[in-house]
Amino acid sequence: MEALMPFLPYIFILVLLVLYLSVVPIMIQVERKVSAWVQYRIGPNRVGPRGLLQPIADALKFLAKEDVIPNHVNKWLYIFAPTLMVFPAFFVFGVIPFGAIMINGQEILIQVGKTNIGILYVLAVSSLGVYAITFGSWASNNKYSLIGGLRSAAQMMSYELPMGLSILGMIMVVGSLRLEDIVRFQIENGWGILLQPVGALLFIVTAFAETNRLPFDLTEAEAELVGGYHTEYSSMKFAMFFLGEYCNMFTASAMITCLFLGGWHVPFIGSMGLDPAIVGYIQVVAMLMKLGFLMFFFVWVRWSLPRFRYDQLMNLGWKKLIPLALANVIITAIVMAM
């Protein structure tokens, strides 16, 4: 194990990339199965045992499909946009801590980069997602796409403000921008959802809006806009938009877990008298289970709630969430100062 120490960050990079690649097909399968159960259907059950190999069949089909680049598009932006969709969701994972394991009596964080600006980096990078949708929709030169893209740009910008403000309360309580510090603080003082209930609620709502999931999926709005910003896309480029959406969900789940659900912490595990080495591994599993539950929650909400109307969406963002988030910051400040 000693010899492996200098290579640990590279091992984490590899493990996280593989995790990332394997999460998306699983998510797509879960989404299709859960939606089938919610609607009292069977869902995919033909490929492999109980339809479990369906995502692999999907991936192969995406690879082999003809890619139509219509005449009227702005070609370079049209090709660039889908790749840009996946990048930001990926990048965020460079700073997310997945747990702390003991190796040779030394505590090692499962995290690629322990940067001192964790949250700031996450906020900055995740807001790049709006460019992918705007570029894609504008370059498509299609009316459905352009309407979807405009809606999406306005929506993502509007909900970024309450998202940024909702995190402020948590940073104020902890006094650090490092995600690992925030998790450690929660291990000692209770989960963020108890310390900052309003902040947690705001963050979860805005996370749905930022990932363009129902009830905030006005960008796509299948019934009105065909496919929204990806109407003109086919083959692998369409798959990239799809991948981006699920990557964003994974990222949002990770952020919610780290900020408000105690990260890798399992309550009362410290008083059970277990070996610290084993506790470390249990906590990594706990982190993954929390992520799994949150992603199930995303699917659950999608198939339970109807879509907002656009004016309702903007009113909720600007007239309710932003004042509420500001009030949350001010009240937290007053409580902290007393």
Partner 1 sequence: MLQQEYLYVLIFILGGSAMVLVAMLASWALRPSKPSKAKLTPYECGELPAQADSYFQFNIRYYLFALLFVVFDVEVVFFIPLVKVFNSIPVVAFIEITFFTVVLAFGLVYAWKKGALEWE
Could you tell me the smallest distance in angstroms from the CB atom of residue 303 to partner 1? 27
Q: Which is nearer to partner 1, 194 or 335 (CB)?
A: 335
How many other C-beta atoms are found inside a 10 Å radius of the C-beta of residue 273?
7
DSSP string, 36-105: HHHTT---S-SSSGGGTTHHHHHHHHHHHS-----TTS-HHHHHHHHHHHHHHHHHHGGG----EEEETT
- Tokens 């879960």, residue? 30
Could you tell me the smallest distance in angstroms from the CB atom of residue 267 to partner 1? 26
Q: Which is nearer to partner 1, 137 or 283 (CB)?
A: 137
Could you tell me the smallest distance in angstroms from the CB atom of residue 54 to partner 1? 19
Q: With beta carbons less than 8 A apart as the criterion, state whether 250 and 295 touch.
A: yes
Rounded CA-CA distance 2/212 in Å is 45
1 exposed, middle or buried (CB, 10 Å; 0-12, 13-18, 19+)?
A: exposed
Q: Which is nearer to partner 1, 34 or 172 (CB)?
A: 172
Could you tell me the smallest distance in angstroms from the CB atom of residue 1 to partner 1? 20
3-state SS string for 124-187: HHHCCHHHHHHHHHHHHCCHHHHHHHHHHHHHHHHHHHHHHHHHHHHHHHHCCCCHHHHHHHHH
3-state secondary structure of 232: coil
Tokens linked to 236: 């692998």
Q: Which is nearer to partner 1, 52 or 236 (CB)?
A: 236
Could you tell me the smallest distance in angstroms from the CB atom of residue 171 to partner 1? 5
Q: Which is nearer to partner 1, 272 or 337 (CB)?
A: 337
Could you tell me the smallest distance in angstroms from the CB atom of residue 179 to partner 1? 13
How many other C-beta atoms are found inside a 10 Å radius of the C-beta of residue 204?
20
Q: Which is nearer to partner 1, 178 or 302 (CB)?
A: 178
Name, in order, each residue with C-beta under 8 angstroms of 177's C-beta and a sequence gap of 6 or more. 116, 117, 118, 119, 120, 171
Could you tell me the smallest distance in angstroms from the CB atom of residue 12 to partner 1? 8
Could you tell me the smallest distance in angstroms from the CB atom of residue 311 to partner 1? 4
Could you tell me the smallest distance in angstroms from the CB atom of residue 22 to partner 1? 12
Q: Which is nearer to partner 1, 147 or 286 (CB)?
A: 147
Rounded CA-CA distance 149/135 in Å is 8
Rounded CA-CA distance 41/33 in Å is 9
Q: Which is nearer to partner 1, 31 or 160 (CB)?
A: 160
Q: Which is nearer to partner 1, 85 or 286 (CB)?
A: 85
